[in-house]
Structure 1
Amino acid sequence: MKRYAWSMKIGYTPGREAPASLSPLEGDDVNDRLLRTARRQPTDTTPVWLMRQAGRYLPEYRAIRGNIAFLDLCKNPDLAAEVTVQPITRLGVDAAIIFSDILIPVEAMGIHLELGDKGPHFPNPLRTPADIDKLGVPDPVEGTGFVAEAIRRTRKAINDSVPVIGFAGAPFTLAAYMVEGGGSKSYIQIKRLLFEQPEVAHRLFQKLTDTLIPYLKMQVEAGASIVQIFDSWGGELSPWDFERFSLPYLTRMVTELKATGVPVILFGVNMTPHLPLLKRTGADVIGLDWRCPVDEGRRILGPDVATQGNLDPLHLFLPREELDGRVKDILRRAGPTGHIFNLGHGILPPTDPDAAKFLVEAVHKHGAALRQGTLG
């Protein structure tokens, strides 16, 4: 596996003119399996990447993270790019997802954010209409330009050998964090807002959508060739409430992002009951968590939507032979086209990196055999 040289002397200065975007992926050495699969085109094997693949399970990440706060790491393009590349070097995955956090654009809207190992925290959560009215819709370059710069530096570091995935959170998920003040088990504050003051909730979702679309377009302009939208907490809503409070904003995001020419992945947890609604967004790829068999998800979504997933992250703790069997089962159920292999949620910090590497190699090996009709 190629190693990448880094110059840590180049700092990022907000407002500094950024380098021009690199050319689109092209050339004989480019791995475009992910992009072809998102468009339901044939590939030599099944592409694989892992949510949170740049993170605490990697010792090289922990070595960097030990010297810098998480939020500062997200805002340092050199370090964010280096962390983004680490799993490409170690695991051989088919894409690099930029190291960042879904709450980064929210901070730029004017709400104080604290990010640490225990998760996000908003000391002053949104609790009144006035709190929401105070939020701004930031210019993406001025407020979050470091993300674009990290994408450019990642592309240069990997010489465009694999696609870079840009991402953002969905309006409902971000609003849940902002209103609850952090994570939640009951989501009582955000749901009370939906049900007691729906017009105020829609104002918040609209403002978030107006922020997120330019934020993702900035990532595309910087060189992200596919984007993923995380509606991590959308599964906490009933289908009726999801259709009313999340679907319109997701649909608008997907429509405007697809107009840029890049494929769009939409992922959420506990979303099986919402799959028919997710299809209505027009997303190219729908991510499945491990609670839904891939073949069932494909049956519901139909042949014109690709799927992504969906190994339980804790299956990486299985003995290698059993893990190999789980990989084969998912690949058989998914079929040879229109499926991106991934976990059903993010990789967990105690995971052995060698298990993740074994997974990637197994997917590539068995994905090729599936296409050749020799998968045992």
Structure 2
Amino acid sequence: MHIANPAIPLGSLVVVIGANGYMGLETCEKLLQAGYRVRGTVRNVEQHRGWMYNLFDRTWSGKFDLVQVPDFEAERAFEDAFRGAAGVIYPSMPVIFDADPTKVFGPMVRGVINTLESAARAGVQRYVLSSSSKAVADTIYGEPRELTEEMFNHEAVERARQKSTDSSFQRIVDVYSAGRTLAEFAFWDWIKTNNPPFVANCVVPDGQFGRVLDMDNLNTGVTSSTGQLTRALQGKWEGVPLPLGKQSFSHVHSWDLVKLLTHVDQAFFTDVQDSARLMVAAVASKSIRNERIFAYHVNRTWNDLRSKVRELFPDRPELVKGSDQDVSGRDMSYAPGPIARAEEILRDIGQPGFTNEDDVIRDFVASVFPQDMQK
């Protein structure tokens, strides 16, 4: 990728928050490819130093380092991480599933505000937040509607704020969606109120698929897009009990979490590399200022993706198992304006536009199911 008119000089330091995540890792690589130095924050440097340095040092020796930030909500948690940085990218907020909004809203909002305040004190010039499709609108089956950059999920916020003892899947989704919406509200409100010394942009992704840079060390479990597509291809709609390891998802048991995620149908998806490219463009391109950029490409269901894998890999029947998802209807939203703007940005940095969906699925299979790949 190529930044023709950089807002921050090539060779400058850009901090990637949560660099060990799926989107974070891709964002690190795209920054390095563009000519920037990268400092990634992780919660435990010892846990991630070996594999992450090994991944990047072979090509960009001395251009990548890590710093430990164990608690995003702690006061001035990012002071050391942001020191000397020209840009900051926050690619993925923590995933918190709980029916109680007090356990979701605060951590999401405080983490965002903490990073903004530290960025202002550090003299950062550019800041990019990754939001979520859940902050835009609910999924509504069978109703064509146009999505725009001005839309926010006010409905989820209203439902989540109602007093309730309900702990159903829908309640948890409502609270999570409201949390992501309120976090983005807090972001834009803080920018407007504080008039910081940096330019701020927001990238809004939906599903992210494609290659996996390190299958051994990245999270490919049920909370990841990679894990969700893997389970969809395996036909594991009801799920099985899975260990959650060191990740915290409040009171939601792994069995419920699997069912929660696999009963939510897929909508728009994008190549994870394209989403990372949009993050880099948002932090580095002088022409992008105070924008909300949608990393949306094509609208597909889980069953569509199962059919696509069968089509692309007819000689590998083992890739798609079980029955299709039993879902009545589909999401019929469309977003021509946001998609056109995102493709314009991708072309400005040397890409032809969004990556073809067939290539995204091929990259996914090559990473997750590499044996005997035929096509």
TM-score when normalising by structure 2: 0.33
TM-score normalised by length of structure 1: 0.33
